[in-house]
Amino acid sequence: MTITEKILAKHCGKKEVVPGELILAKVDLALSNDVTAPLAINEFKKSGTKKVFDRNKVVLVPDHFTPNKDIASAEQCKVMRCFAREQKITNFYEVGRMGVEHALLPEQGLVKPGMVIIGADSHTCTYGALGAFATGVGSTDIAAAMVTGKAWFKVPATMKFIYHGKMPKWIGGKDLILHTIGDIGVDGALYNSMEFTGNAIDNLSVEGRLTMANMAIEAGGKNGIFHVDKKTIEYLKDKTKDKYTIFESDNDAKYISVHEYDVSKLKPKVAAPHLPSNVKSAVEYKNVMIDQVIIGSCTNGRISDLRVAAAILKNKKVHPYVRLIVIPATQKIYQQAMKEGLLDIFINANAAVSTPTCGPCLGGHMGILGEGERALATTNRNFVGRMGHPKSEVYLSGPAVAAASAIKGKITSPEEI
């Protein structure tokens, strides 16, 4: 079996599962946010159940419209707060403690190898970077899990992605996953598990792997997953003392397809509107003028991303016709960036620095686009109207291209700065 199949087999009490099989599996974490939790809570209450299955395994993070944007979002968050108090939820993260959920949970040591994690947010697949089976579900599935501690799945088939070679300067996990989605398409991994491996992955940081797993859903994947290695174990060491189980794919595991890439000659990538698969090298979009740049989100708001952006922005200024918004993904990342002087670099460059929020990524707040405006963002989606007006445009990139482009006022490869 593959890693994914082994994890699911263990959680449904079977020795073996096969792709296409329907199973009922125990869940280790059930996550929801201020957009999706209120519906789940309403359904939970309609069930007549008085207590969640395990108050330590339900996670509530208000991150999409927080700090509260308006009365409607305040009411959404109030539902979460009241429920968290009523149920004595251990892992409720209020403003000031919270962060963008998919950066926060690994940072807090809640994610461990071998776990089954469901979240009422499509980018829950992020946690596969740490060797967990993690996937997005609907709010009613979360409600059912809060009652029973279980969720049903169709066991996904697995695709293997092998990355060879040494990554050039400025190339990171975002470039690898954009290149991959550009190759297979937004439905190229539909309901399949995407297993990432190869010597380039061995050399990729855990934060880079989190970025890649985050965007598995943008290829239609059910989940993305990585092998647990020394880097993973080192990453987890200061975050959790809990025991965990490491699963490895068998040598004779069956894959429905194998895709191999040589990363040694990759150029920084950009995805053009209105699909994450519209991928070309940044230099091919060099005449595209931009109005806004976002550096942040559950994809690229971690400390390593901010360091890359700061290295390019140091002693430079954002183009006068561009607004650059930098959003550290958690309070801890914000504080670390402050200690390292990164926030000074951003502010001296005329960027705005925000408290953690998902706001602009989904067109919620803190960076909405008007009609005809164009943004370059380190986020994960560029669908029509994703960041605001339906006649605005969003391009996707890694932090290096984003920082370089903010300086030039148009899409720019970092090699040109």
**pLDDT tens, N- to C-terminus, the chain (417 residues):** 999 999 999 999 999 999 999 999 999 999 999 999 999 999 999 999 999 999 999 999 999 998 999 999 999 999 999 999 999 999 999 999 999 999 999 999 999 999 999 999 999 999 999 999 999 999 999 999 999 999 999 999 999 999 999 999 999 999 999 999 999 999 999 999 999 999 999 999 999 999 999 999 999 999 999 999 999 999 999 999 999 999 999 999 999 999 999 999 999 999 999 999 999 999 999 989 999 999 999 999 999 999 999 999 999 999 999 999 999 999 999 999 999 999 999 999 999 999 999 999 999 999 999 999 999 999 999 999 999 999 999 999 999 999 999 999 999 999 998
Cis ω on the peptide bond leading into residue 390 (within 30° of 0)? no
**CA geometry: angle 409, 352, 287, nearest 5 deg:** 10
Q: How far is CA 207 from CA 42, 181, 311, in A?
A: 35, 19, 17
Find the DSSP H helices in 238-392: 297-300, 303-313, 331-339, 342-348
The amino acid that residue 127 corresponds to is Y
pLDDT given for residue 417 in this prediction: 87
* 267, 281 Cβ separation under 8 angstroms: yes
Separation of alpha carbons 391 and 379, rounded Å = 18
- Residue 130 has φ and ψ, to the nearest 5°, of -105, 20
pLDDT given for residue 412 in this prediction: 97
Cis ω on the peptide bond leading into residue 274 (within 30° of 0)? yes
Residues 6+ positions from 68 with CB-CB distance below 8 Å: 74, 77
The amino acid that residue 11 corresponds to is H
pTM value is 0.96
Separation of alpha carbons 180 and 176, rounded Å = 6
Q: Determine how many CB atoms are found less than 10 A away from the CB of residue 341.
A: 12
> Could you tell me the sign of the dihedral formed by the alpha carbons of 393, 398, 403, 408, in that order?
negative
Separation of alpha carbons 179 and 30, rounded Å = 31
pLDDT given for residue 219 in this prediction: 98
**Encoding tokens for residue 367?**
């960076």
* 139, 236 Cβ separation under 8 angstroms: no
Instruction: Please compute, for residue 80, the number of CA atoms within 13 A of its CA located in the half-sphere on the CB side.
Output: 28
Report the CATH fold assignment for 269-416: Aconitase; domain 3 (3.30.499)
Place of tokens 């191999």: 260
Place of tokens 């003028």: 289
Separation of alpha carbons 407 and 193, rounded Å = 38
Separation of alpha carbons 347 and 329, rounded Å = 17
In terms of Cα–Cα distance, which of 358, 384, 386, 361 is closest to 98?
Answer: 358
pLDDT given for residue 66 in this prediction: 87
For the chain, domain boundaries: 3-243+256-260, 269-416
* 153, 23 Cβ separation under 8 angstroms: yes
pLDDT given for residue 144 in this prediction: 98
Separation of alpha carbons 113 and 102, rounded Å = 15
* 165, 264 Cβ separation under 8 angstroms: yes
Residue 109's Cβ-count burial label (10 Å; 0-12, 13-18, 19+) is: middle
Separation of alpha carbons 134 and 156, rounded Å = 12
**Encoding tokens for residue 338?**
């402050």
**Superfamily designation of domain 3-243+256-260:** Aconitase, domain 3 (3.30.499.10)
DSSP state of 388: B
The amino acid that residue 36 corresponds to is T
Separation of alpha carbons 22 and 322, rounded Å = 50
Q: Fold identical between 3-243+256-260 and 269-416? A: yes
Separation of alpha carbons 35 and 393, rounded Å = 24
